[in-house]
Structure 1
Amino acid sequence: MISDVMASGTPAAEVDDEDFAAILQQTRQFVRTVVVPRENEIAEGDLVPDDIRTQAAEMGLFGYAIPQAWGGLGLNLAQDVELAMELGYTSLALRSMFGTNNGIAGQVLVNFGTDEQKSRWLASIASGETTASFALTEPGAGSNPAGLRTRAEQTADGDWIINGRKCFITNAPLAGLFVTFARTRPADADGPGIAVFLVPADTPGVQVGPKDKKMGQEGAWTSEVGFTDVRVPAAALVGGSEDVGYRAAMTSLARGRVHIAALAVGTAQRALDESVAYAATATQGGTAIGEFQLVQAMLADQQTGVSAGRALVRDAAAKWVSGQDRRLAPSVAKLFCTEMVGNVADLAVQVHGGSGYMREVPVERIYRDVRLLRLYEGTSEIQRLIIGGGLVRAAKKNATKPNHGG
């Protein structure tokens, strides 16, 4: 098990290459020998079976990106994306099950929580005992957190009262903790006025709606969450500051975009592999369809997209880890890779012909599953605005610098 690999050495801040290679190999084996054969079971039941969940928790997958000091594996983002490319090879419900713990919800605590908040929550998040949900999206504030309408007001005794409604919240029906974003005041010169709170799911006034019925990604549960006069103590304010929320959301989302890009590459690789296998064995008029040049052209386009996406993801992750670029590179990777996997999935259905439109054929499920990747963690349109706006701002900034040349 992965936990055994980690226990074999002295605990360290980072996972070395040898240990990570073992973690990656065990994850690949788990995905391909345990989860892939049960993909139809997951889809039909709209549920990841308990035994798969238990095995994932025992492997440490609920906390692979949580620091070792808090019971996680402590993978950095460069290692995270390698793992994500393996996890993307199967039903995306598997990764979704522990994605919020490692990603957008867990990283808020890792990067912005107080020592007391980390001590209270991170160990149980890393073990899978607690599922953490990232409660940001609202009916009127999707990709733009500045539009939040959920309110938090502080009482005379220091407690906070939260009122509002969230939607499309991943893992909400299973959550033990909601990492909840709320506006404490209108944006002003001091900051955006957005705070983030740690709200246990059993807090009075928290209402979790029925799980959403989605186009794809069966087994990955989302739902609405309501907050009606939800009272939490002052200690629930992440970082102890009202102005941490916006920065925490933007940082967690940017990191998550690199992860989602890697997930898309993993799914695209699966679609490509299914396409090649089908083309090599299915026949038309006694000839394997892979012998036809137009089919080969589709496979070539798929392979090109997967290869480019993999290189781009690794580049973006390296820039994140080094601190070179934590804004534009994540958006570039997410935009390209999530659009790419949509194209690869479409070609996979085309290669399969009529059979690719049939339920229980992997490429049919993949075609539906990957459509969501272009929407969450910021839509493709939002990524284009981030990239384009960032380039223009950088050019303007450079233009105003004094020229000391001769």
Structure 2
Amino acid sequence: MTIEMEDVDGLLAEVAIFARERIAPASERPETPVSLDILLALSNEASEMGLLPLAQEEPGFSLWEDVTGSGAMAFNMGLLRHVGRANAGLAFAWHRYALARHVMSALGIRTEKATVLDTTLLSTGHYGLAQASLGQYLAGECSGEDKPKLQDWLDRQSKSGVLTAVPVWQSVLWPVWQEGRIGWQLAPRSRMQVETLSSQHGFDDLSSFRVQLEPMADVPVHEVPRDDGMFYARVLMLDMLGLLAIGAGALARAQDMTVDFTSVRRQGGKVIGGHAAVQQMLGELEMAVQQADAGIQRLSRPLDRLSIREVASARATTHALLCHAANQAVQAHGGLGYMRDLGAEKIVRDQNMLKLQAGGTRELPLLLAGLGEVQA
């Protein structure tokens, strides 16, 4: 089902109401993670509204179901921004689940039984972005030195990766290296070595796991019919776009909190929002929100009209901006900003978690260098 541009605002208005009236109240105590039962209940409600996909459903307008139209992409990005504003961790879980379903549909992968949030996705290998080798492969210029790096990067049996999801996930879809090409594997949890990680920086409502296939696990690899590099670039772009939208929503929430706080908190005989140092922080928050939203609007185009270079560049610059602005929100709250029951510091930690996903941002310059002048 195609979403027309004239329908986007109305659909997103319904999403905004759901995020404001259902998700935000469940997340109003930042020092207390939302329970798994509530996360699943909210996700099931979203599925009943048609916002999240389920297997064997008729075509609709669920998240990442359509990436070919301008209206659909504006809806996808807007949905994640609204939900990210209410709860970034829940938005991330929805994003990875819906993206996994999108990729499975494109590859013709079917599952007999499906429940909401049962499947998640890892879009990258065990660490980083394989330096410049991934970019060179996507550009069609992979050398003999690059292939061993990619094979190691996508080795799922001898190398472990970190997965962040709801605790009850049952399978993960991830790219693997097979016979010199990138394929995709739907790995069931029962065939994996899974270690729950206790020290998690952000996304308090989710859990993090160290995962890898069992040594003797025989899990089928689904081959991409045509250009595997182009297919992979499209998935990576969608993952990056979702992370940007969630981060923009979370920062908008941080801005609201900061403006409210600085308009009533008094120091030196006037509200602190009247002090130049605080005004500087408020101004930097406004600039970051405006730039993030402008970037989302610019990137809300059909996927065929986007390039991996454009999306990766936007992620590299925007996520650094989002993290800095979120830190400024904490500073504007003074010492209270560091208290977990206020909420500002949670947004900082969630922004940092978003920055670390999809291979992180540190190796994005190497990815862009590897791509060279070729656009995927």
TM-score by length of 1: 0.75
- Match of 2:51? 61
The 1:58–1:288 alpha-carbon spacing in structure 2 relative to 1, beyond 3 Å, is same
- Match of 1:365? 346
Number of residue equivalences:
348
Matched residue SS, 2:373:
helix
- Match of 1:230? 217
- Match of 1:220? 206
Q: CA deviation at 1:331?
A: 1.0
Give the one of 369, 373, 376 matched to 1:393. 373
CA contact (8 A) 2:124 2:154 kept: no
The 1:359–1:61 alpha-carbon spacing in structure 2 relative to 1, beyond 3 Å, is same
Identity %: 20
Q: Structure 2: how far apart are the matches of 1:353 and 1:255?
A: 37
Whether 1:107 aligns to 2:87 is no
CA contact (8 A) 1:108 1:248 kept: no
User: 1:108-147, CA deviations, whole angstroms, 9 ceiling, x for partnerless residues?
Assistant: 2233x03xx2xx24x966x617323337432xx4322653
**1:91-130 to 2 correspondence within 5 Å?**
91-103=87-99, 105-111=100-106, 113-114=107-108, 117=109, 120-121=110-111, 128=116, 130=118
User: 1:346-390, CA deviations, whole angstroms, 9 ceiling, x for partnerless residues?
Assistant: 110111101101111111111111112222113222222334554
Matched residue SS, 2:173:
strand
The 1:244–1:218 alpha-carbon spacing in structure 2 relative to 1, beyond 3 Å, is farther
Give the one of 324, 328, 341 matched to 2:305. 324
Which runs of 5 or more structure 2 residues have no equivalent in the other structure? 67-71, 135-148
Cα RMSD over matched residues? 3.2
Give the one of 159, 180, 184 matched to 1:196. 184
- Match of 1:353? 334
Q: Structure 1: how far apart are the matches of 2:58 and 2:343?
A: 36
Which runs of 5 or more structure 1 residues have no equivalent in the other structure? 1-12, 153-161, 186-191, 396-406
- Match of 1:132? 120
Q: Which has the higher helix share?
A: 1
Q: CA deviation at 1:315?
A: 1.0
Give the one of 163, 172, 179 matched to 1:178. 172
The 1:297–1:72 alpha-carbon spacing in structure 2 relative to 1, beyond 3 Å, is closer
User: 1:35-91, CA deviations, whole angstroms, 9 ceiling, x for partnerless residues?
Assistant: 223325575346442433332332333329x99538846453232111121122122
The 1:245–1:168 alpha-carbon spacing in structure 2 relative to 1, beyond 3 Å, is farther
The 1:378–1:42 alpha-carbon spacing in structure 2 relative to 1, beyond 3 Å, is same
CA contact (8 A) 1:85 1:267 kept: yes
Q: CA deviation at 1:281?
A: 0.8
The 1:195–1:37 alpha-carbon spacing in structure 2 relative to 1, beyond 3 Å, is same
Q: Which has the larger radius of gyration?
A: 1
- Match of 1:84? 80
- Match of 2:161? 167
